[in-house]
Amino acid sequence: VSQRTVSNIKRQIGVQRNSTEKIKFSRQRPASTPSTISKVIQKIDVEDPPTQRSIARSCHISQSTVSRIIKSTNFVLRKKYKVQKLTSSNVKKRCQRARRLYRKLANHRYENFVTTDESWFYLNGTEGKRKVCYIKKNNPDYKRMIIQQDSSRPKGFMEWAGISSRGKTSIRFVAPGTKINSNYYIKHILKPFLSRDLPRLFPDGQEKKMIYHHDSAPSNVSKETIAFMNKTKINYVKPQEWMPKSPDASHMDYAVWGHLKQRLNKCKIETLDQLKKNCI
């Protein structure tokens, strides 16, 4: 700029300093034209929008202008959440069975609901390693960014457990190499549950109030297992009554196991015996 322009700016600022008004600058915020606003809205009003930087580059505006347009048009940035994917068959079954399951658990009968499940636990999920790290820009240590994974099958075991409003069941560990068929499930899971957990959770002759649930694993819904449950007069949720992939109705699968594995991931565990002790 010329010296005369600088002198004029100095004189204007000096006049404003002597007055009670705040200093005003002649530069105004660039106005967002309707066409620019329309372009930005078209880019953000989709399922997978691009970044604000790429929007600004394609529309030939600044990133701050993009952010201002987003706010002025009542759009808000939100993080996506992972949810269970449902097939058309799952949706159909849930619509057909929801009312039936509701009637089974209505009138406070849900307080007698015992939901059970099995899950695998591995040693490689208990190393206490985080998925993020900090490195220096000027001297980065790239070794921190690597998590080595063994290609061989990790050591682990399967365990069974259940929860209810009255408390939790005992944890039962499946012996390594054991094939869980109907006979094993009846002998090592159902019978110990009926003889030990059921009297403790439902004392004083309240066993008949219990509503038992397990998933649709082959050993759980086989003819032998169903015949045993009918013979012992267990009140259970039948396969045709259960809503598939329901986080609200299957707390072990969608809440308890994940919470337990997150806690174990923070621990440094070296043996399977230590892993079992931390699970109990």
pLDDT surpassing 60 at residue 23: no
pLDDT surpassing 70 at residue 4: yes
pLDDT surpassing 70 at residue 231: yes
Query: How much is the pLDDT for 69?
Result: 92
pLDDT surpassing 90 at residue 223: yes
* CATH number for the domain running over 88-279: 3.30.420.10
Q: State pLDDT tens for residues 138-193.
A: 888 878 777 766 656 678 899 999 999 999 999 999 988 888 899 999 999 999 99
pLDDT surpassing 60 at residue 263: yes
Once rounded to an integer, what is the mean pLDDT over residues 92-103?
90
25 or 262: which leads in pLDDT: 262
Q: Is the pTM of this model over 0.85?
A: no
Kindly list the distances between the CA atom of residue 154 and the CA atoms of 70, 112, 123, 131, in Å, as whole numbers in the listed order.
Answer: 48, 37, 7, 19
pLDDT surpassing 60 at residue 220: yes
Contacts of 185 (CB under 8 A, 6+ apart): 219, 220, 225
Name which of 88-102, 146-160, 222-236 the model is least confident about.
146-160
Calculate the average pLDDT of the chain.
85
Kindly list the distances between the CA atom of residue 259 and the CA atoms of 124, 215, 248, in Å, as whole numbers in the listed order.
Answer: 17, 19, 15
Query: How much is the pLDDT for 192?
Result: 96
Instruction: Give the number of other Cβ atoms within 10 Å of residue 27's Cβ.
Output: 6
pLDDT surpassing 60 at residue 21: no
Query: How much is the pLDDT for 140?
Result: 81
Over pLDDT 90: what percentage of the chain? Answer: 46
| Torsion angle in degrees (nearest 10) through CA of 241, 247, 250, 253 | 130
Distance CA 217, CA 181 (A): 10
Query: How much is the pLDDT for 85?
Result: 83
Query: How much is the pLDDT for 181?
Result: 93
27 or 13: which leads in pLDDT: 13
Burial of 49 (0-12, 13-18, 19+ CB in 10 A): middle
Check: CB of residue 32 under 8 Å from CB of residue 69: yes
The phi and psi torsions of 251 (rounded to 5 degrees) equal: -70, -35
Query: How much is the pLDDT for 22?
Result: 57
Contacts of 197 (CB under 8 A, 6+ apart): 162, 169, 170
